[in-house]
Amino acid sequence: MNLKRLLLIVIGIIVSSVIMGCGKESNGDSDSKKQKSLIVYSNSVTDGRGDWLKEQAKEAGFNIEIVDIGGSDLYNRLLAEKNNPIAHVSFGLSQMDWNSLKKENALKEYEPEWLNELPDNLVDPEHFYHPIVEQRIVMLYNKDTYTEATAPKDWPDLWEKEEFYGKYHVPSSLGGGTNRAVIYNILTRYLDENGELGVSDEGWEAVKKYVQNGYMTPDSEDRNANLADGTVPISFYFSSGIPGIEEEFSFEAGIVSPSIGVPSTIEQVGIMNHGDDFDYTLAQDFVDWFGSAEVQGKWAQEFGSIPVNKSAIDQATDRMKEIVEFTTVQEIDYEIVSKYIDGWMEKIELEIF
């Protein structure tokens, strides 16, 4: 091939590339989102949630990459990356974690379009994070093994009554938010400013008895299968996950409603702080879309969640409405929990597990 012919081919490739580029630009702003992608971190994309969200987001014009990370690991990663963030948006985690991230300047403030559809008492007044889903942490029991009369009435029954010894699942790690909620649900009943890490000796003894008298499910077994077939007939789960395990294992779990209430965490969505010069338009558009009543209503119907958006709550499933009506929310001082949570978990993992 002579030099002149090669030069003509190269020029042709360059011209074609320019034309193709101009063709893309001519689509206008309506297609601009499709040419970009958002990285979304979450601890709430299991059981098909992530795949569903990617499909729905794609239809809405968003190309998102989801990174699935467990609760405490997600918080630690967001904190570690605060000076050089990778994620554009994150959702999940509890209000405690989001408040800590705000204090660390890891979040960008934003007022989403659906802000006025939220309960005032759940809104961050500075608008760095925004509530989307309520999760109630609920004790469950197998209805073939227990009736409402014979099942535990509250968590202390598990370690105070020998009839339940070895019959209830206990967590083997404390990395996830649900497992942590079970622990602080117990410890906050025994707060003592003069006690170790703000907890009385009685409180630490209660947690010790809870762990030692329960059944720590090995990796070779499925805790939910054990609950469904009665092998280990008492367990716990986050509320939006209950319909899924009931469907998977073809059973209906009994719900325990302690008079003190059940722990409740509020999952939030927020935009990560990439600095003042960053263009947050796409992240803001995604938050506006994701937290809207329409999307949260679909999410509730698909995955049995309890939406915080007041315009979406009617779209919750009958099972979720039943759980909300049957249980009440436990009053917990989350400022104290936030102060001690890491120390509590470390002590339990080192001294009790």
Task: Provide the pLDDT for residue 334.
Answer: 85
Identify the three-state secondary structure at position 127: coil
- Both 162 and 225 in a single domain? yes
**23 within domain boundaries:** no
Is 340 in the same domain as 215? yes
At 176, the pLDDT band (50, 70, 90 cuts) reads confident
- Is 9 part of a structural domain of the chain? no
Whether 46 and 102 share a structural domain: yes
Evaluate whether residue 295 is within a structural domain.
yes
Same domain, 187 and 307: no
* Amino acid 336: pLDDT: 92
Residues 156 and 170 in one domain: yes
Q: Do 226 and 187 share a structural domain?
A: yes
Would you say residue 148 has pLDDT above 70? yes
Specify if 74 maps to a domain. Answer: yes
Q: What percent of the chain has pLDDT over 90?
A: 75
190 and 293 in a single domain? The answer is no
Q: How does pLDDT run across 288-326, given as a tens digit for each residue?
A: 999 999 999 999 998 888 999 999 999 999 999 999 999
pLDDT computed for residue 46 by the predictor = 86
- Is the same domain home to 259 and 275? no
Most confident range, picked from 25-34, 79-88, 89-98: 79-88
| Measured distance CA(306)–CA(240) in Å, rounded | 7
* The residue type at 114: W
pLDDT digits (tens, 9 = 90+) for 229-260: 999 999 999 998 898 899 999 999 999 999 99
- Beta-bridge partner residues of 134: 266, 306
42: which strand partners? 68, 91
Q: Are residues 118 and 41 in the same domain?
A: yes
Is the distance from CB of 323 to CB of 136 less than 8 angstroms?
yes
What is the phi/psi pair of residue 230, to 5°?
85, 5
Number of domains in the chain: 2
List pLDDT tens digits, range 4-18. 344 433 334 333 333
Q: What's CA 101's distance to the chain center, in Å?
A: 15
Give the domain CATH number at 269.
Answer: 3.40.190.10
Mean of the per-residue pLDDT values of the chain = 89
Closest among 259, 256, 255 to 245, alpha carbons compared:
255
Q: Does residue 228 share a domain with residue 128?
A: no
Q: Tokens for 134?
A: 């309520």
Asked, for residue 22, whether it belongs to a domain, the answer is no
Q: What is the pLDDT of residue 1?
A: 47
Q: Which amino acid is at 125?
A: P
d(CA 117, CA 110): 15
Residue 185, domain extent: 135-263+325-351
Indicate whether 24 belongs to any domain.
no
**In a 10 Å sphere around its CB, with 0-12 CB exposed, 13-18 middle and 19+ buried, how is residue 15 labelled?**
exposed
My answer on whether 172 and 296 are in the same domain is: no
For residues 257 and 279, membership in a common domain is answered with: no
